[in-house]
Amino acid sequence: MTTTLERIKKLFLENFDFPEERLRPEATIESIGLDSLDKIEFLFALEKEFDIKIPDREVKLDSIQDIIDVVERLVMEQHAEQRQSV
Amino acid sequence: MTRVVITGMGIISPVGNSCEEFFDNLAAGRSGIKKMSWDFADRLSVKISAEVDFDVEAYFSKKTARTLDRVSQFAMVAASQAWQDAAIQLPEKEQKRAGVYLGTGMGGARTLEESYVQLLKQNVKRLHPLTVVMVMNNAAASYISMTHRLKGPCLTYSTACSSSAVAIGEAFRQIKHGYADVMLAGGTESLLTFGIFMSWESIGTLALEAEDPSTSCRPFSKDRSGFVLGEGSAILVLESLDRAKKRGARIYGEVIGYGSTADADHITKPSVEGQADAMRAALEEARISPDDIDYINAHGTATVANDAVETKAIKEVFGQRACHIPVSSTKSMHGHLLGAAGAVELVAAVLALNKRIVPPTANLMVPDPECDLDYVPGKARTGLDLKVVMSNSFAFGGTNAVLIVRKHE
C-alpha cells in the first residue's frame, strides 16, 4: 500500500518544480522554498487527494512530518465520521 | 514632447505565434478560422472559432502554467518575444521609468467560468486558492511587470474591443509626456469558452458558418454575417526615440497619433460621428493631413452595422481621397480578438509598413453598395511605398481608438 509520505511526495512533485530528495519528513516547508501562497495551494491539493477538509488556520504544518501527521489524523477522523453516517 | 518609437513586437495569434509567421499568413490570405473541436460545440449553433495553437509546456513549467489563466500565458509569451525582439536592457536605475499597459476585455473569465462549473455542477468544497489572482483583469500586466522588472506605471484598460488600442495609445502618451522612457503595451484575450460563445451567439454578431469554415468571416462583403471569436495577444515595446537611437535599436516605426472618443450614444450600435472624430483626433495629434495616410487597417468586424458605418466614417474624414487608400480587415483571417484586437491589428499595420505589403481583406466576394472603398479584396498588394499607416479600433460601449504610425527614416 502506498504510504502517506509517498502520496504527499507525489503531490509535491505534481504541483511544484523541485527535486524529490529534498522531501524528507524532517524538512520544513520554509526550507523547501514554499511561500505563503504556495502553501495554501498545496493544502488545497492535499484536501483533494485525501478527500479531507483541513480546518483553516488551526493546524501546525511546519514540516513534512507535520503534514503527514495532520493528514493521517484528519483522514481517520473525517472518514470515520463518514462511515458512521452511512 | 518626446518622440516615441516601436522597437520590438511579439504575438500569439490564430495565424501564427511569431511576427514572421503571423504576417506571412496574412499576406498569403491564409485564415486561422476553423471548426471547433470542443464537446460543447453540440450546444452551439455557430461552431467555428479562431483558436491559437499553443504548446503551454514549451513556455512554462507545469506549476507556473497551472497558476496562470490562458489569457496571462499568452500575454507573458508575447511580452517576452517583444522584449527579445527589441534586444533591450533595463538597468536597475531605469526600472522606475518603464511600465506596462495592457488591454483585455474580460481577463481571466475562462478560470471564472471553470470555477462556476466546479462550484455549481460538481459541488466542490473549495475553489482553487489562486482563483482570485487567475481571474483578476490585471494579472497579465502584473506578471509582465514582475518578469521584466518594470516598476513604473502598470495599468490594465478594459474598453471591450478597443481595449488594447487604448492601452497602446495611453502608453505612447506616457512616454511622449515624459512619465516613462520604455513601455510594454498591447493586449490579450482568451475567451473561447462555452458561456462566452453562448453570450455572443445570443447577441447575434457571430458569423454564420460557411461551407468552407475558413471563409466564414467576410468583412465589407454584401454576404457578411458577423465575426468569428478569436484569442491571442500582441505586445509592443515602445521607447523614446532618443533612448532607441542611443542604443542603436532597430526601429519599426514612430507612433505619432492616437485618437480616443466615446460615441455617447448607444451601447452596441456604432456611430459615424464617434469613429470619424477618433480618426480626426489621431490625425490632429500626428499633425498630418488625411492625404498622408497610406493604409488603414480597419476595425472591419464583418457585422452589417460596423462595416457600413466605418466606411461612412472613413469617407467623412478622408473625402475624395478615401477611395484611393487601401483599407483592409485582417479579422477576416485572424478572427476577432476582442480586447487584443487593436494590438494584433497594429502589429499587422506596422509590419505592412516595414514589408511594403498590404494584407488583403479575405472572403470579400460580393460587393456591397454601402461599402465602396478599396478593401484590397482577396490578394495582398506588394511593393507599395507606405509611409504612414492607421489602425482603427471601435467597441461595444462606444470607446473608439485610432492609432497612427509613421515609418522611421
pLDDT single digits (tens) B287-304 = 999 999 999 999 999 999
Task: Please tell me whether residues B273 and B237 are part of one structural domain.
Answer: no
Task: Please tell me whether residues B210 and B78 are part of one structural domain.
Answer: yes
Those residues with Cβ within 8 angstroms of residue B52's Cβ, 6 or more apart along the chain or in another chain? B12, B13, B14, B17, B74, B190, B231, B232
- Residue B285 belongs to domain with CATH number: 3.40.47.10
Task: Please tell me whether residues B157 and B25 are part of one structural domain.
Answer: yes
* Residues, chain B: 409
Those residues with Cβ within 8 angstroms of residue A52's Cβ, 6 or more apart along the chain or in another chain? A46, A71, A74, A75, A78, A79
Using one digit for the tens of pLDDT, what is the confidence trace for B175-205?
A: 999 999 999 999 999 999 999 999 999 999 9
Per the domain annotation, does B284 fall within a domain?
Answer: yes
* Set of chain B residues whose Cβ sits within 8 Å of the Cβ of A14: 62
Query: Which chain B residue has its CA at the smallest distance from A11's CA?
Result: B63
* Average pLDDT in chain B: 97
For chain A positions 16-75, those within 8 Å of chain B (CB to CB) are 16-17, 37, 40-41, 43-44, 47, 53
**pTM for this model (two decimals):** 0.95
CATH superfamily of A4-85: ACP-like (1.10.1200.10)
| Selected catalytic residue, list B19, B154, B217, B299 | B299
Closest CA to B399 of B233, B211, B239, B263: B263
Per the domain annotation, does B252 fall within a domain?
Answer: no
Q: Flag whether pLDDT at A86 surpasses 60.
A: no
Predicted local confidence at residue A58, as pLDDT:
67
| Selected catalytic residue, list B19, B161, B217, B371 | B161
What is the average per-residue pLDDT within B344-360? Answer: 98
Q: Which of B246, B270, B299 is the last residue of a domain?
A: B246
Q: What is the band of B252 on the pLDDT scale with cuts at 50, 70, 90? A: very high
Task: Please tell me whether residues B379 and B293 are part of one structural domain.
Answer: yes
- Decide if B341 contacts B194 (C-beta within 8 A): no
What is the nearest CA distance from A61 to chain B, expressed in angstroms? 17
Backbone phi, psi, residue B392, to 5°: -100, 135
Task: Please tell me whether residues B43 and B166 are part of one structural domain.
Answer: yes
Q: Flag whether pLDDT at B23 surpasses 60.
A: yes
Interface of B with A (CB under 8 A): 61-63, 66-67, 125-126, 128-130
Predicted local confidence at residue B199, as pLDDT:
97
Task: Please tell me whether residues B271 and B129 are part of one structural domain.
Answer: no
Per the domain annotation, does B406 fall within a domain?
Answer: no
Q: How many domains does chain B have?
A: 2
Q: What is the band of A84 on the pLDDT scale with cuts at 50, 70, 90? A: low
Task: Please tell me whether residues B199 and B67 are part of one structural domain.
Answer: yes
What is the average per-residue pLDDT within B96-118? Answer: 98
Per the domain annotation, does B408 fall within a domain?
Answer: no
Task: Please tell me whether residues B262 and B228 are part of one structural domain.
Answer: no
Q: Which of B246, B269, B298 is the last residue of a domain?
A: B246
What is the average per-residue pLDDT within B138-142? Answer: 98
A65-76 burial by CB neighbour count: b if 16+ within 10 A, else e? Answer: eebbbbbeebee
Per the domain annotation, does B46 fall within a domain?
Answer: yes
Task: Please tell me whether residues B153 and B206 are part of one structural domain.
Answer: yes
* Average pLDDT in chain A: 85
B323 is catalytic: no
Q: How far apart are the first and last CA of chain A?
A: 25
* Residues, chain A: 86
C-alpha grid cell for residue A74?
A: 484528519
Reported ipTM:
0.80
Task: Please tell me whether residues B37 and B129 are part of one structural domain.
Answer: yes
* Set of chain A residues whose Cβ sits within 8 Å of the Cβ of B61: 17
What is the average per-residue pLDDT within B37-48? Answer: 95
Task: Please tell me whether residues B217 and B272 are part of one structural domain.
Answer: no
Predicted local confidence at residue A85, as pLDDT:
60
What is the average per-residue pLDDT within B72-88? Answer: 98
CB count in 10 Å sphere of residue B301: 25
Select from B62, B63, B126 the Cβ nearest to the Cβ of A44: B126
Using one digit for the tens of pLDDT, what is the confidence trace for A6-33?
A: 999 999 888 887 777 888 889 888 888 8
* Set of chain A residues whose Cβ sits within 8 Å of the Cβ of B62: 14, 17
CA distance B34 to B14: 10
Q: Is the CB of B126 less than 8 angstroms away from the CB of A47?
A: yes
Task: Please tell me whether residues B105 and B189 are part of one structural domain.
Answer: yes
What is the average per-residue pLDDT within B93-103? Answer: 98
CA distance B196 to B191: 6
Name the more confident of A41 and B342. Answer: B342
| Pair type for strands B4-12 and B253-262 | antiparallel
Q: What is the band of B170 on the pLDDT scale with cuts at 50, 70, 90? A: very high
CB count in 10 Å sphere of residue B194: 16
Per the domain annotation, does B251 fall within a domain?
Answer: no
Q: Which residues pair with B4 in a beta bridge?
A: B240, B255
Residue B368 domain boundaries:
258-397
CA distance B56 to B259: 36
